[in-house]
A = this chain, B = another copy of it.
Amino acid sequence: MATGFIKTPSPFHFIQRTSYTHLGAPITVSIAGSSKAKKTHLQLRVSMGLIEPDGGRLVELLVEEPLRGLKKKEALSLPAIQLTSIDIQWVHVLSEGWASPLTGFMRESEFLQTLHFNSLRLPDGSVANMSVPIVLAIDDAQKHRIGDSTSVALIDAKNNNPIAILKDIEIYKHPKEERISRTWGTTAPGLPYVDRAITNVGNWLIGGDLEVIEPIKYHDGLDRFRQSPAELREEFTRRNADAVFAFQLRNPVHNGHALLMTDTRRRLLDMGYKNPILLLHPLGGYTKADDVPLSWRMKQHEKVLEDGILDPETTVVSIFPSPMHYAGPTEVQWHAKARINAGANFYIVGRDPAGMGHPTEKRDLYDAEHGKKVLSMAPGLERLNILPFRVAAYDKTQGKMAFFDPSRAQDFLFISGTKMRGLAKNKESPPEGFMCPGGWKVLVEYYESLVPASSNGRLPEPEPVLA
């Protein structure tokens, strides 16, 4: 979301689809299926009752505990690829099945389908959505070192620990310009993810099947919030959820967000669902320098629940481990698709999802309405219910956030993300009722904590480390 105000479903409507949806058909919840292992190292779990993962099963790529020692030893015998922190975030994403049915970093056929079709055709002829390339770049020297080996070890560059093995590898050209053009719809310099993770990496991509040796942990005090799709599915089942509505965010939660989420739950109840559960799902991977870092956002989100703005009984707060692309209509599909794999069958989408300002022109990079339009038509997302929402703003007559009423526009105050950050930086208070006081205090503390001498005014982001 580009701004601090939000959009609300008023009237609450679903984007029309040509294919079937789950509209008005509450899902029966039954007991979660037991874990099954297809191979010793590949866990496949399906929670009964929740929406099915893409491809019919959640593809987890973690090596079973008893085999980890062996695999680590095997890894040490293989050609080694050094991973950056963003690479490791993608290993995390893949290892837990957020990108099901992917079984590892993309091979060329998956990469090309992602770039051209935002979707993958599966062996049974069905289609899964896949809009952002999940790829691993290597340079000429690394390619040379791999030689004829069919497997490589993926190594944490910070401490030389082997993280995973990539098997049945395929090495192919990394067409950077084409990848950037087709993913972002621009090649303008200054795209944060491109600058950080594409421009200076190698000219080859390496795909294959992943075997992840140990769960990825960050040891930043937040790992308990990093629930995997399987764990979230268990949680939703434990709570007897008959609908799960996901809210992706990378900003502090204000009372407009809360109004929207509370209202969404009420309307799902009106539709006949007995126990809709909110997945409040902040993105935890790479974000750009002027976003509020994850640790502060999580403190803020905790306050929002403590202050009773959201009901902990019907809300699950968890961290989505993906890095951020800021690729607008292309990326919002990834954000939605990954939440299907975590059990969400409703997805809330606002204005300009995953958008940002154009890096070189004075305008937003994407049309603010394209994200929800593209999402509503995306191949492989037909079974997800898209919940678009309209504007909420600060209603001066009520002294609280409310759905914007154009017939009395003069009563409303729009508080943009930029304005919100400006107020917090200057230790000023927003209008009462904009955000719960505890949450606002966290924001003010964050800006106080910034070292003025820092080049970008931001603390280093948490990085994944192995225990």
Contact = CB atoms under 8 A, between A and B. Distances in A.
A127 interface: yes
13 contacts: A112-B370, A112-B374, A112-B377, A117-B377, A117-B378, A117-B379, A175-B367, A177-B186, A178-B366, A181-B182, A181-B185, A182-B185, A186-B187
Given A185-B182, A187-B181, A367-B175, A122 B18 contact: yes
Contacts of A181: 181-182, 184-187
A308 interface: no
A116 interface: yes
A282 interface: no
A112 B118 CA distance: 12
Interface string A109-122: 10011011111011
A125 interface: yes
A123 B20 CA distance: 11
A235 interface: no
Contact of A127 (B131, B330, B379): B379
A262 to B, nearest CB: 32
Interface string A412-424: 0000000000000
Contacts of A124: 18
A19 interface: yes
Contacts of A127: 379
A375 to B, nearest CB: 10
Nearest to A115: B185
Interface in A146-201: 173, 175, 177-178, 181-182, 184-188
A379 B377 contact: no
Contacts of A182: 181-182, 185
Contacts of A117: 117-119, 377-379
A133 B336 CA distance: 26
A214 to B, nearest CB: 34
Interface in A301-349: 329-330
A182 B118 CA distance: 12
Given A18-B124, A116-B374, 6 more contacts: A19-B121, A178-B185, A178-B366, A181-B181, A181-B187, A186-B187
A-B residue pairs, 10 tightest by C-beta: A178-B185, A181-B181, A181-B185, A19-B125, A187-B187, A182-B185, A18-B123, A18-B125, A116-B374, A116-B118
A348 to B, nearest CB: 20
A371 to B, nearest CB: 10
Nearest to A175: B367
